Chain A
């Protein structure tokens, strides 16, 4: 019994961690490569959730069918924002906090006007709305699906960053923009595409969390704070760091929530983040590049 509940909590932690990672992935890329603290990330997620809701309730397209569309739509939106606003703030990183928060406020209110302020619900895909019983454990299939998809997105992102021409350009621009430009890399284009990719990931995250959390215009605020803790604790620009810190925070949340309660779990998680940043401001797994 004790062993079973241990594994059950471990699975819950894994599930929380995968959602955290899913949300933080786009943020980690944008913050890690451009130093932009994108507080509108939560609103990108909210846009993704609403797009999924709209597809399902108005057009009858299921969650799985709308994932690609959601990615493209939110990515295009992110690209537009980068071109019009964010690109002017690269030399003022703290100001990006303020500008993106302003954008976030507008998106929230815009969505409230468009879709109304009430909570919206997205249905689980029928094929995934089952619970697996495995060695005495009850595992909701949708949670497993999120874990698998997160791993998939992580692998795709890793491949994009480390194995493609685009990723090489991005890493070059991140290391030294001026020298990268003198080799003929169009840094503006690299930045705007990266921002779009990060936004698209947030949109997919929004689509995936929509069935398990309720969809509302201000749903993003809580997510963006959590995602930030993951990214900063993991270390700027480190995918591995984001994975480990999402895992640690997820398991910690589940474990403490099991022993005490949900709120105290979150409190302890945030205090852990504070202590980690205090003693390792470079994060758990800092990116070893010269800046």
Chain B
């Protein structure tokens, strides 16, 4: 048992050390730091997906719904901070849309604490409701995928439609910097990079424990055979809803960091292509492991980033191609490849040991005198 914990834990620690030592390597190149912080922020929705898809078998094609809500929650706060000098403290886009006074539901976003709470809490709440609605009826597989996709489109349409309160297609731009206890955090700085890396590491470590807890075990059992788990007396729908909601909260955190790193929030965060991209990253890394999903997100984004710098137009073509190949030949992603190689090596060693033991044992098989001669 301890060995089962140890190797993966080493992986998580190694990844944490690696991302924490990035600033030391890139030095004062704040543009690179910003780029890497963006990759790490995007790793969070992939981790969230690994949690509900990889562990509990719930394929959420609308992860962008939670991600977007997180992004908009923090953007509302930062927009208010940036608009403090405007007449009435009103954000610029509201002025363009003839909104006279700040709407009531914008008021509490003056507080950073409330915004952060909303960025996590609202996705969790909505996902709990949707999860309860779906899983009570034992909706599974493709139907979950379609419902979450429909939910995403609804969210996207509403955000675009309610231009007066959301900035519509343009989203919210010109956001202020995050201000924690009087400390301004520039998205192009080490401090911001550490904030993002720290959040990702905290989520990964919490996820590491969660996956290996009894709760995680039940989720995996549900993924394997929900009917049997139900026979054991577990409330399958409740476990699924909790997994779904937790995953939404993680995606919300990712959305908040992503809006801060880009300094804007846009309805494209809630568009179908980005949500399917989350699925791609998660699958390329390996959906069965949270760490693998995070690495998948970083790797795919890094490839995409460097390819599009090298030859602008063909980048997407190659990314799509890589993805098709991964689905065809590595259904469990890069993480699965590493795992298989490890077990094969381990298995070969074990077989060798077993073989040696068998040989040793066979030597003193008791043979009675005269038995062979007959």
Alpha-carbon distance A240/B217, docked complex (angstroms): 43
How does the 8 Å CB contact mask read for B133-146 relative to A, with 1 for contact and 0 for none? 11001010111011
Flag the segment in B34-42, B117-125, B152-160 that touches A.
B152-160
Known: A85-B328, A99-B324, A102-B324. A228 touches B149 (CB 8 A): yes
CB proximity of B374 to chain A, nearest CB, Å: 51
Flag the segment in B207-215, B239-247, B314-322 that touches A.
B314-322
Chain A residues within 8 Å of chain B by Cβ, number: 42
Flag the segment in B20-28, B197-205, B273-281, B342-350 that touches A.
B273-281
Residue A264 CB within 8 A of the other chain: yes
CB proximity of A120 to chain B, nearest CB, Å: 18
CB pair B317–A95 under 8 Å, yes or no, is no
CB pair B313–A109 under 8 Å, yes or no, is yes
User: Which residues of B, 292-315, contact A by the 8 Å Cβ criterion?
Assistant: 313-315
Residue A267 CB within 8 A of the other chain: yes
Please report whether the interface of chain B is mostly helix, strand, loop or mixed according to DSSP: helix
How does the 8 Å CB contact mask read for B55-86 relative to A, with 1 for contact and 0 for none? 00001010000000000000000000000000
CB pair B321–A102 under 8 Å, yes or no, is yes
Known: A105-B319, A113-B314. A95 touches B327 (CB 8 A): yes
Partner of A98, one of B134, B313, B327: B327
Alpha-carbon distance A79/B145, docked complex (angstroms): 26
CB pair A99–B59 under 8 Å, yes or no, is no
Known: A113-B317, A267-B154, A274-B151. A89 touches B142 (CB 8 A): no
Partner of A102, one of B145, B149, B323: B323
Task: List residues of chain A with CB within 8 A of the CB of B161.
Answer: 261, 263-264, 267
Alpha-carbon distance A109/B273, docked complex (angstroms): 13
Partner of B331, one of A39, A95, A229: A95
User: Which residues of A, 246-284, contact B by the 8 Å Cβ criterion?
Assistant: 261, 263-264, 266-267, 270-271, 273-274, 277-279, 281
Chain A residues with a Cβ under 8 A of chain B:
37, 39, 85, 88-89, 92-95, 97-99, 101-106, 108-110, 112-113, 218, 221, 225, 228-229, 232, 261, 263-264, 266-267, 270-271, 273-274, 277-279, 281
Closest 10 CB pairs of A and B: A105-B320, A106-B320, A102-B323, A109-B316, A263-B161, A102-B324, A99-B327, A109-B317, A270-B150, A102-B320
